[in-house]
Amino acid sequence: MSEEDGPSKRKIAFITFCTIFLVGCVIGIAFSVNVETESSDNAGQQKDRVISSVKAVKILCKPTTYQKECENSLMKDARNITDSRELIKLAFSVAMKKIDKELQKIDNMRKNESDPRAKMALATCKQLLGLSTGEFQRSIEKMGKFDLDNLNNILTSLKVWLSGAITYQETCLDGFKNTTTHARIKMRNLLTTSMHLSSNALAIISTLASAVELVGGRNLAEGGEHVFGHAEVIPSWVVDDDIGGGVRRLLHQRSYRLKANAIVAKDGSEKFKSIGEALKKVPKKNKKPFVIYIREGVYREYVEVAKTMTRVVFVGDGANRTRITGKRNFVDGMITYRTASVAIHGDYFVALNIGFENSAGPQKHEAVAIRVQADRSIFYRCSIDGYEGTLHAHAMRQFYRECTVSGTVDFVFGDAVAVFQNCTFVVRKPLKNQQLIVTSQGRKEKQQPSGIVIQGSSIVAKRKSDSKAYLGRPLKNYSRTIFMNTYMEDIIKHEGYTAKQGRRGPAAMNTCFYGEYNNSGPGSNKTKRVKWRGIKKLNAESARQFTPLKFFHGDQWVRITRIPYYPDILPKR
């Protein structure tokens, strides 16, 4: 069972129907609602098709939160559409067009805005809404490839991408923190309908995915797309030694230099002196790994791996030897989203042996070292250092292995589908009267597949201190974070969790999902944890739903890299 305790009896009939509905998607036949008719003339047939279309729309919209908006938005354009796949694509298209319509109004809003921070927030909204429409566009394209052989992969990707579209819209609104005008209220009013339609699209796909699980889908370990394309183009330094029951290890060789597509050296001894220069050589929509070897040095530059830069691989000389650093921060006038020293947008990004840092310091408040919103991104043996908001795991699927993340307040935050395996979280000394909080997960919708999973890791103090840290606080109402097989020092407060002030809607402490399973150390004692409804008791069965294989709903994109990885509950040490 999932953490939501499976589908309710009320939904069983609908999910059963969805199974039939899915067959229509897969084989591309017209979905037919039982409509009795004896009419054979064109007018009669047309009338029957309209009736069938109306019924199909109502059924499609049944699982959505904003059902009436779903029906109204589809009825006009559905007309004679009864093909289930086309109806779903229409639901995506309607939401995408609504977002794009609101995006076009932002330039005028900026011209009339006096607050510099609000102006920056509006510019960021334009970028984020563009990303949101992009997720709908690729979801529409993915629906065109709907087939039984790739069913789980398609539905999982659709859920992740639609969730990302919602997250981007929500992040747009978050950017208006500490602004002095009514820009945030105007933008929220502008986005209300598009956010509802986005929520509806995700609900439709989530219900279809539940139907597949109910009737039994393909083995989740099968299928999937490769990080490095076809197996034969895996870089030569990646070797499978099958030690320890098939555990795959990345062997450290000195041949990075020979295999790289671009080499960066700060001292000018190679072709590129900056990472930004090397990134300009990445082909658009790259189909095979583009390896950038970054030699030892501190690179004081702001790096962005753009959306079109797919399958980029950063390789450094070690997390403490190759470092990328910046110092943008909230106090000096930047909104949180814009403070990142490094921003990763391109899918299938991999980083090995590199340090990412924001050196602004604790007094500058939010200052992100790296923001990641690339789907199927992987970080291995990297360090991510800062203070408040160090790692913005913003959206999409992300896997971190043997990484170190340091900070003070909400130093791992965002709404990605993120798993941290065998990582170390280092709590640094706070400012006076400042709370220490490790995670702040941002799941807004119950249907979103996102969450933070920390497995086989350690949470430790940088140095001994009287200050204690919370494991997490909910950034949004359906925040979801799980700690498994993790060692917790006595830096962790007995209460475990704290509420974020000013949460709207349902109280986040009742609707969040925080779970702990088989942890160790003095900070892992759960007897004095807060007594929220959102604090869940996990056993081996329920915890398994948050292991990488289950949580990602397929792990081929991780396994193909041969980076060390364990898909299930970790064996006892």
Q: pLDDT for 22-72, tens place per residue?
A: 555 554 544 444 444 444 556 555 555 556 778 888 888 999 999 999 999
Q: Which of 410, 415, 490, 568 is catalytic?
A: 410
Token pair listed for 127: 């970028």
Q: Quote the CA–CA distance of 304 and 301 in Å, as a whole number.
A: 10
Above 50 in pLDDT, residue 524? yes
The residues, ordered by sequence, that sit 6+ positions from 27 with a Cβ below 8 Å of its Cβ are: none
Question: What pLDDT, on the 0 to 100 scale, is given for residue 534?
Answer: 96
Average predicted confidence (pLDDT) for the chain? 86
Question: What pLDDT, on the 0 to 100 scale, is given for residue 248?
Answer: 32
Selection from 403, 388, 387 nearest residue 350 by Cα: 403
Calculate what percentage of the chain has a pLDDT beyond 70: 82
**47-56, 390-399, 560-569: least confidently modelled range:** 47-56
The β-bridge partners of 217 are none
37 exposure class (CB count in 10 Å sphere: 0-12, 13-18, 19+): exposed
Q: What angle do CA 130, 156, 171 make, to 5 degrees?
A: 35
Could you give the C-alpha distances from 428 to 19, 266, 486, in angstroms and in order?
Answer: 51, 29, 19
Question: What pLDDT, on the 0 to 100 scale, is given for residue 50?
Answer: 57
Above 90 in pLDDT, residue 11? no
Above 60 in pLDDT, residue 224? no
| Of residues 3 and 189, more confidently modeled | 189
Above 60 in pLDDT, residue 391? yes
For 72-90, the pLDDT digits (tens) are: 999 988 777 777 888 999 9
| Of residues 12 and 39, more confidently modeled | 12
- Mean pLDDT, range 164-180, rounded to an integer: 97
Token pair listed for 382: 């990297």
The 3-state DSSP class for residue 11 equals helix
Calculate what percentage of the chain has a pLDDT beyond 90: 72
CATH node for 49-213? 1.20.140.40
Segments in 36-105 forming alpha helices (H) = 42-61, 67-78, 84-103
| Of residues 304 and 51, more confidently modeled | 304
Model's pTM, two decimal places?
A: 0.89
Q: Quote the CA–CA distance of 341 and 382 in Å, as a whole number.
A: 15
DSSP string, 305-372: E-TT--SEEEE-S-TTTEEEEE---TTTT--GGGG-SEEE-STT-EEES-EEEE-S-GGG-B--SEEE
- Contacts of 54-62 with C-beta under 8 Å, sequence gap 24+, read 54/78, 56/31, 56/81, 56/82, 56/84, 56/87, 57/87, 59/14, 59/17, 59/21, 59/33, 60/21, 60/84, 60/87, 60/88, 60/91, 60/204, 61/200, 61/204, 62/14
The residues, ordered by sequence, that sit 6+ positions from 421 with a Cβ below 8 Å of its Cβ are: 399, 400, 401, 402, 455, 456, 457, 548, 565, 566
Question: What pLDDT, on the 0 to 100 scale, is given for residue 32?
Answer: 45
Question: What pLDDT, on the 0 to 100 scale, is given for residue 232?
Answer: 34
Active site residue 410: yes
Amino acid (1-letter code) at residue 291: V
Domain ranges (residues) in the chain: 49-213
- Mean pLDDT, range 169-186, rounded to an integer: 95
**224-228, 339-343, 372-376, 559-563: least confidently modelled range:** 224-228
pLDDT-derived band at 1 (thresholds 50, 70, 90) equals very low
For 107-155, the pLDDT digits (tens) are: 999 999 999 999 999 999 999 999 999 999 999 999 988 777 778 889 9
Question: What pLDDT, on the 0 to 100 scale, is given for residue 202?
Answer: 98
